[in-house]
């Protein structure tokens, strides 16, 4: 493991826990109307993806429960294709990725 990787993994865990707490106990209709909550969740997902980019392929292989390519790919979409993301379609997959990152 590279020297900074424990920090990146900790950042991923913290961001995943925050994102999960932001959507816990609410339904889609509430989330859809709450732009601040959406922005908060999206920011945490960006952090997860950015931190994941700093994880070596060797460490990624040692933690196969995290869908690394999907996590990093979603970060790229959130950053570069933000206007093309349908949260109603993307959010369930994002939440699943967050939950996998936590466990």
Is residue 75 annotated as a catalytic residue, yes or no? yes
Catalytic position from the list 4, 10, 43, 80: 80
53 is catalytic: no
Per DSSP, the residues of the chain read --TTHHHHHHHHHHHHHHHHHHHTT--HHHHHH-HHHHHHHHHHHHHHHHHHHTS-HHHHHH-TTS-HHHHHHHHHHHHHSGGG--HHHHHHHHHHHHHHHH-
Contact (CB, 8 A) for 40 and 21: no
Q: Which of 4, 37, 43, 75 is catalytic?
A: 75
Q: Which residues are catalytic?
A: 75, 80
């Amino acid at each position: 493991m590279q020297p900074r990787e424990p920090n990146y993994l900790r950042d991923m865990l913290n961001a995943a826990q925050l994102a999960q707490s932001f959507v816990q106990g609410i339904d889609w209709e509430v989330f859809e109307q709450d732009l601040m909550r959406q922005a908060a969740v999206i920011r945490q997902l960006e952090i997860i993806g950015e931190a994941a980019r700093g994880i070596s392929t060797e460490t990624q292989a040692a933690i196969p429960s995290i869908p690394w390519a999907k996590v990093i790919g979603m970060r790229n979409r959130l950053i570069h294709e933000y206007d093309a993301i349908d949260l109603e379609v993307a959010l369930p997959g994002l939440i699943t990725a967050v939950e996998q990152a936590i466990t």
